[in-house]
C-alpha cells in the first residue's frame, strides 16, 4: 500500500526516499498519517511533562533532535535526523548544523540579557527554527512545541494557544498562521506573537 499524500498550503512535500522511512506500512492517506503523528506527539508531551528542563538542557542540538524523535519516532525512521535533501523552504542541507548552533547561541543570549519579552523570545526562536527547517517533515509542529517548552520551562508561563485550533488541517486559523509567518518573513513578528497567544 503506497502513501498518497495531499499537501496543504505551507507544508513541506516528503521526498520518495523519505517515504521509505515510514515505520507503519499500513498508513496510506494523509488523514491516517496526521492521526498517527498526533498520537505520537501526545506521547511526546507526556514525556516532556515528566521533566524539569533548564536553558542548558533545552537549547542544545541534542535536545532539538531528541524532541523531534520523541514526537515522530514511532512513525518515521528518520525522526530526529537532519534532512538530507533540500526543500522549498529552509536553508541548504549543509548549512543546518551551523545555522542551528548560531540560533541556539543567539537564543541563550536573548534570554540571559532579556533582549526581548519572553513571548517574543519563544516566538522568534520558533520562527528562526522553522526557517532553518532541520528535518524532512514535522518542522512546523516541532517548532511550535519548542516555543511552548521555552515559554513554559524557562519563563514559567502557560503553553501558547496557537489560534485555539488544529493547525495541521485546512482552516481559517491555518490561513492566519501562514499569513503571520509571511509577515515574519518581511520582518514583522508581531502577528505571529499575537496568533500564538490567541
Ligand atoms: N513562508 C513561511 N515562512 C516561514 N515558515 C513557513 C512558511 N511557510 C510554511 N512555514 C512553516 O513550515 C511548516 C511546514 O513544514 P513541515 O511540513 O516540515 O512541518 P509540519 O509540522 O509537517 O507542518 P504543520 O505544522 O504545518 O502541519 C509550517 O507549519 C510552517 O510553520
Ligand atoms: Mg508537513
For residue range 140-165, list pLDDT tens digits in order: 999 999 999 999 999 999 999 999 99
The correct CATH number of 16-196 out of 3.40.50.300, 3.30.70.60, 1.10.3290.10, 3.40.50.720 is 1.10.3290.10
113 C-alpha to ligand 2 centroid (Å):
34
Q: Is 182 a pocket residue for ligand 1 (Cβ < 6 Å)?
A: yes
How confident is the model over 107-128, as pLDDT tens digits? 999 999 999 999 999 999 999 9
User: What is the residue extent of each domain of the chain?
Assistant: 16-196
What confidence category does residue 190 fall into, taking pLDDT thresholds of 50, 70 and 90? very high
Q: Which atom of ligand 1 is the closest one to the Cα of 8?
A: 26
What pTM was estimated for this model as a whole?
0.95
CA trace torsion 75, 81, 84, 87 (10° rounding) = 70
67 C-alpha to ligand 1 centroid (Å):
17
pLDDT at residue 65, as a whole number = 98
Instruction: For ligand 1, atom 13, name the residue with the nearest CA.
Output: 140
Distance of CA 158 to the CA centre of its chain: 18
Question: CA-CA distance, 196 to 117, in Å (whole number)?
Answer: 14
pLDDT at residue 123, as a whole number = 98
Residue with cell 498526533: 38
Residue 20 CB contacts under 8 Å (≥ 6 apart), including other chains: none
pLDDT at residue 62, as a whole number = 98
As a whole number, the mean pLDDT across the chain is: 94
CA trace torsion 115, 116, 117, 119 (10° rounding) = -130
Whether the CB-CB separation of 136 and 18 falls below 8 Å is answered with yes
Which phi and psi (to 5°) does residue 164 adopt?
50, 40
Q: Ligand 1: which of 14, 72, 89, 186 to mutate, most ligand atoms within 8 Å of CB?
A: 89
Bridge partners of 4, per DSSP, are 29
pLDDT at residue 170, as a whole number = 87
pLDDT at 73 over 60: yes
Amino acid at each position: 500500500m503506497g502513501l498518497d499524500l495531499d499537501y496543504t498550503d505551507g507544508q513541506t512535500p516528503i521526498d520518495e526516499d523519505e517515504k521509505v522511512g515510514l515505520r507503519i506500512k499500513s498508513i496510506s492517506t494523509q488523514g491516517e498519517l496526521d492521526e498517527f503523528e498526533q498520537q505520537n506527539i501526545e506521547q511526546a508531551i507526556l514525556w516532556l511533562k515528566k521533566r524539569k528542563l533548564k536553558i542548558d538542557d533545552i537549547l542544545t542540538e541534542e535536545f532539538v533532535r531528541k524532541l523531534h524523535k520523541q514526537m515522530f519516532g514511532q512513525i518515521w525512521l528518520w525522526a530526529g535526523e537532519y534532512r538530507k535533501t533540500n526543500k522549498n523552504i529552509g536553508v541548504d542541507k549543509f548549512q543546518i548544523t551551523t545555522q542551528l548552533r548560531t540560533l541556539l547561541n543567539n537564543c541563550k543570549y536573548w534570554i540571559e540579557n532579556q533582549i526581548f519579552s519572553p513571548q517574543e523570545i519563544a516566538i522568534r526562536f520558533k520562527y528562526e527554527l522553522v526557517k532553518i527547517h532541520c528535518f524532512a517533515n514535522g518542522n512546523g509542529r516541532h517548532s511550535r512545541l519548542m516555543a511552548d517548552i521555552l515559554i513554559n520551562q524557562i519563563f514559567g508561563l502557560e503553553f501558547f494557544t496557537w489560534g485555539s485550533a488544529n493547525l495541521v488541517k485546512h482552516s481559517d486559523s491555518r490561513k492566519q498562521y501562514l499569513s503571520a509567518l509571511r509577515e515574519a518573513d518581511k520582518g514583522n513578528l508581531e502577528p505571529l506573537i499575537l496568533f500564538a497567544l490567541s
